[in-house]
Amino acid sequence: MRSIWYAMTINDIDQRRVALLSALEAINSAEMLESFKLAHLVRKGSIAEMFEQLKNVSKEDKPVVGKVLNVFRAEIEEAFKSLEATLGSAKEVSKETIDLSMPARSVIVTEPGHEHPLISTLNRMVGIFTAMGFDVAYGPEVEDDEHNFEKLNFAADHPARDMQDTFFVKPTADWSPDSAMKPALLRTHTSPVQVRLMESGKLPIRSVMPGRVYRNEEITARSAACFFQLEGLVIDKGISMADLKGVLLEFARQFFGSDSKIRVRPSYFPFTEPSVEIDVSCYLCSGKGCRVCKYSGWLEILGAGMVHPNVLKACGIDDEIYTGYAFGMGIDRTALMRYGINDIRMFTENDYRFLRQF
């Protein structure tokens, strides 16, 4: 009885070997090869089941039958690997193959483009002033000392002329102090646009000047080397500080809310006299005090004043007939207040998670 069972077992292994080798020869795709692997070469495949049957073999025959089974498994695995090298695995093919029979996906724009928060703030401000009768004027970002400093009543030793505050453009090799070409710099404010308007001689003037300005400052959460600014200029007969206060109060109410109040504090600027700084009541806490306004109830928004007579004279305007006021504010810091943001650098880091909120 033992010899008959032994002969049948060896015969069964041999028949199984022939059947699996024939099945491998018929395979012509990576998908078929993967199916063969799942049926026969995995932990619960048909070959593993044959090894399970070794427990039914007698102790005398088990070494011989086990050796035959190991040779059988090794032969099938070698044939499988050889075929796999030719056809490639199903996973590799699925990554590289494009199914051209699949319908194309329809393109749906779920998040349309929108204005950057800085541009949105700037446009909102300009819109308020144009509704009050102001024109919009622009000028070059690369300026000369005369328009950026001298005609704005900056003394020759004023700190703003120092390299720590201003980016100067390196002159060409053929430049000399006697040259007609003036040393250039990146404008530190949009006030040179005001100078050019006054030099034109077209009076009266009622304009705002938006644009980028540059200062040689350390980049922090509250300051930047390049930022946006909006300035305004009014020149006419009979202009007074009361006109300035009325315009800025109306702006504050439209931009920050109808209940907004403004506070005027004395200050100093070379190009205005008298000079003031304007605070607006905190729109977040209604003047009660909060973290944004540092618990003062007020937010500083701009500097302003009556145009200095020396500036009018330098631009060819008779200061005995005409008076005017000017004001200027930083767009970036106003945007910080508008949106409750605590780091000015976030506006220029282009983090999509931040920008998509607006």
CA distances in angstroms from 102 to 95, 106, 108, 274, listed in the order given: 15, 12, 18, 74
Predicted confidence at residue 290, as pLDDT, reads 79
Predicted confidence at residue 276, as pLDDT, reads 94
Cα distance between residue 23 and residue 38, in whole Å? 14
Cα distance between residue 178 and residue 197, in whole Å? 28
Tell which phi-psi region holds residue 199, choosing left (phi > 0), alpha (psi between -120 and 50) or beta.
Answer: alpha
CB 225 within 8 A of CB 214: yes
The mean pLDDT of 138-155, rounded to a whole number, is 91
Cα distance between residue 243 and residue 24, in whole Å? 95
Predicted confidence at residue 302, as pLDDT, reads 93
CB 295 within 8 A of CB 283: no
The mean pLDDT of 334-349, rounded to a whole number, is 85
Quote the pTM value. Answer: 0.64
Cα distance between residue 279 and residue 337, in whole Å? 13
Confidence of residue 11 (pLDDT cuts 50, 70, 90): confident
CB 124 within 8 A of CB 255: yes
> Does residue 228 surpass a pLDDT of 90?
yes
The mean pLDDT of 311-324, rounded to a whole number, is 95
